[in-house]
Amino acid sequence: MRDATPQTVYLKDYTPPEYLIDSVELDFDLDAQHTQVNSRLTMRRNPESAAAGVSLVLTGEELELISIQLDGNPLTESDFTINLETMTIQQVPQQRAFVISIENRINPKANTALEGLYLSSSMLCTQCEAQGFRKITWFLDRPDVMTRFKTTLSADKTQYPVLLSNGNKIGHGDLANNRHWVSWEDPFAKPCYLFALVAGQLECVSDSFTTMSGREIALEIFVEQHNVDKCAHAMQSLKNAMRWDEDSYGLEYDLDLYMIVAVDHFNMGAMENKGLNVFNTKFVLARPDTATDSDYEHIEGVIGHEYFHNWSGNRVTCRDWFQLSLKEGFTVFRDQQFTGDRTSQAVKRIQDVNALRTRQFAEDASPLAHPIRPEAYIEINNFYTLTVYEKGAEVVRMLQTLLGAEGFRKGCDLYFQRHDGQAVTCEDFVNAMEAANGVELSQFRRWYSQAGTPVLTVSQHYDADAQQLHLTIQQSCPPTPHQPDKAPLHIPVKLGLLAADGSPATFVINGQQQTDITLNLTEAEQSFVFDELAEKPVLSLLRGFSAPVNLNMPRSLEELAFLFKHDSDTFNRWEAGQQLVVQVIFGLIEDLHNHLPLHLNALVVEAFHSLLNAEADDLSYQALLLTLPDESYLAGQMTVIDVDAIHHAREFVKTTLAHALEDDFNRVYLIHHRDESGKFDADAIGRRRLKNACLSYLSQLESSDSYTLILAQFEQAHNMTDQMAALSVIVNSQHPAKASCLDKFYQQWQQEALVIDKWFALQASSYMPNTFATVQALMQHPAFDMKTPNRVRALIGAFSQANPVHFHAKDGEGYRFLADQVLALNTLNPQIASRMVTSLAQWRRYDKGRQKLMKQQLQRIVMTEQLSKDVYEIASKSLA
Ligand code: TRP
Ligand code: ZN
């Protein structure tokens, strides 16, 4: 066990900082193993603080102190105390500004946690969000302390020719012993979590952007030499994002320089450090032969996300870490809008909802459930969650739905205008929305404090004599940790009605004629009447997924097939197809449990048949309509998850469709199969998606014809989308060329880390027999490395999160394996270790046998000595 139970931090305990840091001068004498940091903090008491003491508490961890001075006078041992997380200076001036000068030493090479200053390949870089700055030097490491930074870096000229930090370059020069220095100044006060430095042998790809007011911004992407040919897409994405934020939000970039650095070792996707974003290479590098269409889209999305943070996060930042969704939920919403505008709103919305429902809903139904604004944490890194990000974005989206696009924009304008340069709260965001629109959102605020996914139970009744549709909606929300009882939420529910011929039905509500409407649910139960309906309409509810809720609404398969054909709302049309298949699969699972033979309802075959023969203009959307619900989505809908039955039933549906519609799948495949590598327009991407969806069905046939077709695509592909699509179906089939294809792929791409990640992930997520043995063997592969998060996610992450059948093997070998890896990672990289534990958090959802095995591993983890806060929090909360 750990020596002491780690401390919990509570939102209710927030108090303003006792001191402020107006400016800081940082000098780094960089070296991989002995970096010296000299910092000069100009400080004063915070007039807003009510605290009485005269001492000063700075945060700092794993630092070696060299010297400390107050106003130029050295402090002695009796003037201050240092413990594991803080330094307390007994007495500092209260009536005037004062200067604290500190010299300390750190060892970047020993830093495998990848927060603070660390070594990635041979370059030095920083990650300070959320609390990494305290591993660089003693500071007030909290987001409501905003400081102007001036940073000087000096280092060996050969090893570190490029020296970067935030803001503008203000000087540089040579030093003795082949060393040199560069100084940077950031004119914008910022919290220290936005500080960054990078030093290394980097190539610079540059371009420029002219802002709406005519200012010219230099754009620079820094990568290692061998990646220079993979930056064009990231650069174009950055320009697209800059233009989009001007057009959509009226927001312009503020510095003269915008830099992005791509690093191999990174715990997350990317980081919005002021003027100097640091990115996981995964979200920068792309070339048609190395990156898939989805990679291209994700890169543009993440580049956009970090760029948008310049306003939603940096210019207006968070008061404390409980407000994380203020910047993340809002910025995710902004990047979703951006990607939708750049690609297809229909497709983007479906992808986002799909991810939300399979992953965030699972989190919200687990012991780790928390509101988008959490009330307590042990380790803040554990709260960079799907709830804070994705559900947070849904909450912002609901505000937009309630206020309308224009009203929402007015609210945003007021928010940025009121709070520019400040560290604020979610409350301030909602206040701005209210003030700009003259509305009252008090009930809506519950979305910030209440966890769990609400359930809407819907009943309807058509009264032919009165020509009325009566709709009753009840809302409820299951209990979550510390929140047994829930209050009703303000939920926007978009709906439309369809006439018998599939066209939109006109109705009258509140005396007004409409074809669609947004209902405001505010009570536990509410009824609505739709008038002047001469025939019974078909209800299309929760259009565009207007709220993050579960719908409980019994529907016939016929009605779902009808909506799948006719609904004009692109989201609900897709959703009808999903629910059709979901119902059918659950029927099959019941048959499996009753040892009955399986039979696929002809309605499904007919629905897919007509889809494959219909005209379509958005082919990516068409491909989504053809895709069966994920196993993890199906699992989320089951009281006791039966991974084997889910897999078996879903495969049965897919294989039966493949046999019944083989000609259609072949025909559509051939129409769209052509070599257009290097083309990334919506049509070319759509053709690839649709074709590859067909290929995936055809692979179910396990016939010599399908083997030939798939192998041909694998061998002839000139783009990664097609090559991966082929390899992925090969790996999940009994294709005779499986081993040789995997080998060829490895030989071809062994120099490209990001492609080799795909190679690992594909094998780790295969549902074919022997996968566990393969995973164990891959752990010993020379290309596997526990210190590279992308690799860990590709192998251990894919196995535990994307391979339900094998991870949940009945004998518990998957669980034991995961716990072994978590404990190994615990000392190396606690953030990654704790991410890996979360797949055990769902243990209560499985059968008694699996529950016991999962719980055993969680207990084993909790009992381990020297457990990080990160892992301790997730494992102990999972067991609670
Ligand atoms: N703010 C980053 C983002 O855009 C999140 C992030 C990047 C992060 N790296 C991190 C959070 C490391 C915690 C730790 O969303
Ligand atoms: Zn973010």
Is 779 within 8 Å of 763 (Cβ atoms)?
A: no
Question: Quick check: helix, strand or coil at residue 306?
Answer: helix
Nearest by Cα to 569 from 577, 475, 457, 614: 577
- Per-residue pLDDT reduced to its tens digit, 665-692: 999 999 999 989 899 999 999 999 999 9
- Per-residue pLDDT reduced to its tens digit, 582-593: 999 999 999 999
- Per-residue pLDDT reduced to its tens digit, 709-760: 999 999 999 999 999 999 999 999 999 999 999 999 999 999 999 999 999 9
- Per-residue pLDDT reduced to its tens digit, 97-120: 999 999 999 999 999 999 999 999
Residue 4 reports pLDDT greater than 80: no
Average pLDDT over residues 642-660: 98
Residue nearest to atom 1 of ligand 1 (CA): 271
Q: For residue 325, report the distance from its CA to the centre of ligand 2, in Å.
A: 9
Residue nearest to atom 5 of ligand 1 (CA): 271
Phi, psi of 574 (to 5 degrees): -60, -45
Q: For residue 666, report the distance from its CA to the centre of ligand 1, in Å.
A: 44
Is 600 within 8 Å of 652 (Cβ atoms)?
A: yes
Distances (CA, A) of 282 to 241, 262, 286, 296, 529: 18, 8, 8, 10, 51
Q: Which two tokens stand for residue 288?
A: 């048609």
Pocket of ligand 1 (CB under 6 A): 127, 129-130, 267-268, 270-272, 305-306, 328, 381, 384
Pick the ligand that lies closest to the CA of residue 191: 1
Percent of the chain with pLDDT over 90: 99
Check whether the bond before 130 is cis (ω within 30° of 0): yes
Q: Determine the pLDDT at residue 3.
A: 54
Residue nearest to atom 2 of ligand 1 (CA): 271
Is 149 within 8 Å of 166 (Cβ atoms)?
A: yes
Pick the ligand that lies closest to the CA of residue 335: 2
**Alpha helices per DSSP H over 309-366:** 324-342, 345-355, 361-364
- Per-residue pLDDT reduced to its tens digit, 594-614: 999 999 999 999 999 999 999
- Per-residue pLDDT reduced to its tens digit, 491-517: 999 999 999 999 999 999 999 999 999
Pick the ligand that lies closest to the CA of residue 321: 1
Residue 766: pLDDT band (50, 70, 90) is very high
Q: Which of 129, 309, 381, 829 to mutate to test the pocket of ligand 1 (most atoms within 8 A of CB)?
A: 129
Separation between Cα atoms, residue 220 and residue 203, nearest integer Å: 10
Distances (CA, A) of 649 to 436, 443, 730, 739: 52, 42, 21, 27
Average pLDDT over residues 170-194: 98
Question: Quick check: helix, strand or coil at residue 635?
Answer: helix
Q: Which of 308, 384, 831 to mutate to test the pocket of ligand 1 (most atoms within 8 A of CB)?
A: 384
Q: Determine the pLDDT at residue 2.
A: 52
Distances (CA, A) of 260 to 169, 193, 220, 231: 15, 17, 6, 10
Q: For residue 318, report the distance from its CA to the centre of ligand 2, in Å.
A: 12
Instruction: Tally Cβ neighbours within 10 Å of residue 608.
Output: 24
- Per-residue pLDDT reduced to its tens digit, 395-430: 999 999 999 999 999 999 999 999 999 999 999 999
Q: Which of 114, 127, 284 to mutate to test the pocket of ligand 1 (most atoms within 8 A of CB)?
A: 127
Q: For residue 324, report the distance from its CA to the centre of ligand 1, in Å.
A: 11
Q: Which residues pair with 531 in a beta bridge?
A: 508
**CATH architecture classification, 1-201:** Sandwich (2.60)
Nearest by Cα to 690 from 617, 761, 785, 623: 623
Instruction: Tally Cβ neighbours within 10 Å of residue 151.
Output: 24
- Per-residue pLDDT reduced to its tens digit, 436-480: 999 999 999 999 999 999 999 999 999 999 999 999 999 999 999
Domain with CATH 2.60.40.1730 in the chain: 1-201
Residue 1 reports pLDDT greater than 90: no
Ligand 2 is an ion; its neighbours by CB within 5 Å are 328, 331
Q: For residue 306, report the distance from its CA to the centre of ligand 2, in Å.
A: 6
Q: Which of 268, 272, 310, 386 to mutate to test the pocket of ligand 1 (most atoms within 8 A of CB)?
A: 268
Q: Give the full edge-to-edge strand order of the sheet including 216-223.
A: 203-210, 216-223, 257-263, 276-280, 270-271
Residue nearest to atom 10 of ligand 1 (CA): 268
**Alpha helices per DSSP H over 25-117:** none
Pick the ligand that lies closest to the CA of residue 283: 1
Q: Determine the pLDDT at residue 5.
A: 84
Instruction: Tally Cβ neighbours within 10 Å of residue 426.
Output: 25
Query: Catalytic amino acids?
Result: 306
Q: Determine the pLDDT at residue 731.
A: 98
Q: For residue 165, report the distance from its CA to the centre of ligand 2, in Å.
A: 20
Q: For residue 133, report the distance from its CA to the centre of ligand 2, in Å.
A: 18
Residue nearest to atom 4 of ligand 1 (CA): 271
Q: How far apart are the first and last CA of the chain?
A: 16
Average pLDDT over residues 272-297: 98
Q: For residue 86, report the distance from its CA to the centre of ligand 1, in Å.
A: 23
